[in-house]
Structure 1
Amino acid sequence: MASDLNFVEYVRDQINEAGQVSFKKMFGEYAIYCNEKVVALVCDNQLFIKPTDGGRSMIGSVVESPPYSGAKPYFLIGEQVDDRHWMTNLIQLTASELPTPKPKKSKSKKAKN
């Protein structure tokens, strides 16, 4: 089941103060970005946060679940998605612990003979 755009926009609005927040549709589901880092996924209208040590400490009793079949477990966020302050702190903490994405290689044009 694909996620509802309204839910994705709600999540974005909840964490909008965490930094530069955006989302991108991928395979019927969504990746959530903070400062150009993928920090979360929305799958089946559920929020999955990338696992980090800081996030684990902040959440405390973590529920882990794979966002889709074959994926590694992420932190599954339930009702806490409605707590804007808590969500903002979690996303900032998560983003701070994730590596900066590598720059994309430019596609070189082959010379025509």
Structure 2
Amino acid sequence: MATEQGFIEYVAEQADLGPRLTYRKMFGEYALYLDGKVVAFACDNSLFIKPTQAVRNDYPVFPIRPPYPGGKPHPVIDELLDDPERLQRLMLDTAQLLPEPKPKEPRSRKRRES
């Protein structure tokens, strides 16, 4: 079942991170980006956070399962949708612990090298 647009909009509203939090649709599901870093996935109308030390330290009781078939297990943080302050804090802490995204090469350059 694909994630509904209304669900992802609700997640963004609850996180209250303004334009710092963006999302991109991928195969009917969504990746959520905070300051350009993928911090979470929305799959089957559930919210999965990247597994980092922030989750292990502060929220060790979240259920863990793959967000999509064949994916690595991620903590499911649906319960934080009712607690916007904790949701925001976890997303910020997660982004801080993730490495900076690698710069992408321009498309035209990739094609010439192929």
TM-score by length of 1: 0.90
SS of 2:2's partner is coil
**Distance apart, 1:56 and its partner CA:** 1.5
Deviation at 1:82, TM superposition (A): 1.6
State yes or no: 1:88 paired with 2:102: no
Unaligned stretches of 5+ residues in structure 2: none
Please, what is the CA RMSD of the aligned residues?
1.5
Q: CA deviation at 1:17?
A: 2.5
Q: By how many angstroms is 1:19 displaced?
A: 7.0
The code of the aligned residue for 1:60 comes to P
Q: Residue 100 of structure 1 aligns with which residue?
A: 100
User: Could you say what secondary structure the match of 1:30 adopts?
Assistant: strand
In the alignment, what sits opposite 2:68?
A: 68
Larger Rg: 1
Q: Which has the higher helix share?
A: 2
Local SS of the residue matching 2:58: helix
Q: SS at 1:47's partner residue?
A: strand
How far is the alpha carbon of 1:52 from its aligned partner?
A: 0.2
Runs of 4+ in 1 over 4 A off after TM superposition: none
